Amino acid sequence: MNVQEFVDNKAKQLCFYLRAFWQDELPIEELELFFWDSMEEWGQIEFTLTQPYTQKERVFWHLLHQVHYWNEDKLRQDRFLVDELTNCVNFLEGLGHCPLDCVGVRP
């Protein structure tokens, strides 16, 4: 699996999990497990440091970091944050424009 395949697969899953979390269908612990599983899988991906990022990859890493960084209450109740993350999800799902303030980087 290459970087693009990893990002494509994980972005779909991340969007699904985050939407389920917002709809009270998934506990925060499952989001955390997804984060750590993704990090473990990322460790198996071969890439070079000079390999360019796509917009999708930058948004994916940004969104994954945000989901891991903020606590459950913030992820559910902070309207500004939820709107920002929703824009990221929409873009990853092909439903919106690339958010300009997403500067996600590979771990």
Q: Where are the domains of the chain?
A: 3-41+51-92
Tell me the whole-structure pTM to 2 decimals.
Answer: 0.94
Q: Which residues of the chain have pLDDT under 50?
A: none
Q: What is the pLDDT of residue 31?
A: 96
DSSP 52: P
Q: What's CA 57's distance to the chain center, in Å?
A: 9
Q: What is the pLDDT of residue 101?
A: 84
First to last CA, the chain: 17
d(CA 14, CA 10): 6
**Beta strand extents in the chain (DSSP E only):** none
Are 31 and 67 in contact by the 8 Å Cβ rule? The answer is: yes
